[in-house]
């Protein structure tokens, strides 16, 4: 029986554990979740498909996949803690932005399978997007396994390591920008008299519907925008106001700032 060990039961680690354990293709796997805080593990201990550990070394012994769902500051220390328990065939996965393939090679050795993954918080509701980068030790089965694991939380695809900072800015940090836009839309509705909860409901469903249209229609976003803009109508008036205020450049500059910060963290 394949074993997936997840170290870190925070928001992302917990989401990965739930996503895997509740997905039928993974029900033949053993899912382990480790965290030093026993109280954090209590909500997962009730799930029959997840075995909880407070000892990281015990959790990774014999594991096929070891997913490090930890903050960057803890990654290298935990790797050194568990290193002797890793099998040569174990695939170590880090979701921290700071650990490059080269740095992982220095710590784990050249022969250890290793991958970097940048998921995002919508994985908690099965609507995540993950970018994956693997070292040259990964087999085709390893790559397919990673795609299956992270696709259970939404969507996932392999990218070049040179694009992982872009993934971090776009889909890793991007949800925060979406929430800001959603909140601003709701605030405008409240300003014109709509109750707050109704405003959030209208705004969030509008954002969800627009994203679904973009994914499923196969039309360019500009075409979808134009479909809503009737001549001399309300939508084109909104678009004109947003353009006058520099909405596109604001979003572009925001994402570039995230990209540059991710690059800075990876180089430290």
Annotated binding residues for NADP(+): 7-12, 69-72
Longest CA–CA span in the chain (Å) reads 69
Q: Is 54 helix (H, G, I), strand (E, B) or coil?
A: coil
Distance CA 243, CA 229 (A): 14
Report the SS3 class of residue 70.
coil
- Helix, strand and coil content of the chain, in percent to the nearest 5, comes to 60, 15, 25
154: exposed, middle or buried (Cβ count in 10 Å: 0-12, 13-18, 19+): buried
Binding-site annotation, residues for NADPH: 56
**Which 3 state secondary structure label does DSSP give 30?**
strand
Q: Which among 79, 74, 155, 63 is positioned nearest to 118, based on CA atoms?
A: 155
- 156: part of which helix (H) or strand (E)? strand 154-158
Known binding-site residue numbers: 7-12, 56, 69-72
């Amino acid at each position: 029986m394949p074993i997936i060990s997840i170290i870190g039961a925070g928001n992302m680690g917990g989401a990965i554990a739930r996503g895997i354990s509740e997905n039928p293709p993974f029900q033949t796997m053993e899912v382990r979740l480790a965290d030093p805080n026993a109280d954090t593990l209590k909500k997962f201990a009730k799930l029959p498909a997840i075995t909880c550990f407070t000892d990281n070394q015990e959790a990774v012994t014999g594991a096929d996949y070891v997913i490090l769902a930890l903050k960057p500051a803890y990654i290298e220390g935990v790797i050194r803690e568990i290193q002797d328990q890793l099998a040569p065939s174990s695939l170590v996965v880090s979701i921290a932005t700071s650990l490059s393939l080269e740095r992982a090679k220095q710590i784990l050795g050249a022969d250890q399978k290793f991958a970097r993954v940048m998921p995002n918080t919508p994985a908690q509701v099965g609507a995540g997007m993950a970018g994956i980068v693997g070292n040259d030790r990964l087999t085709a089965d390893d790559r397919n396994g990673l795609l299956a694991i992270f696709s259970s939380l939404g969507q996932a695809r392999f990218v070049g390591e040179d694009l992982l900072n872009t993934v971090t800015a776009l889909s890793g940090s991007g949800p925060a920008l979406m929430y800001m836009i959603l909140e601003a839309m709701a605030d405008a509705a409240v300003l014109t008299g709509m109750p707050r909860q109704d405003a959030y409901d209208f705004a969030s469903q509008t954002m969800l519907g627009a994203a679904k249209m973009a994914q499923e229609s196969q039309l360019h976003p500009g075409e979808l925008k134009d479909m809503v803009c009737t001549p001399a109508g309300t939508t084109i008036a909104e678009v004109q106001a947003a353009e006058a205020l520099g909405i596109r450049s604001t979003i572009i500059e925001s994402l570039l700032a995230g990209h540059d910060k991710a690059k800075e963290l990876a180089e430290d």
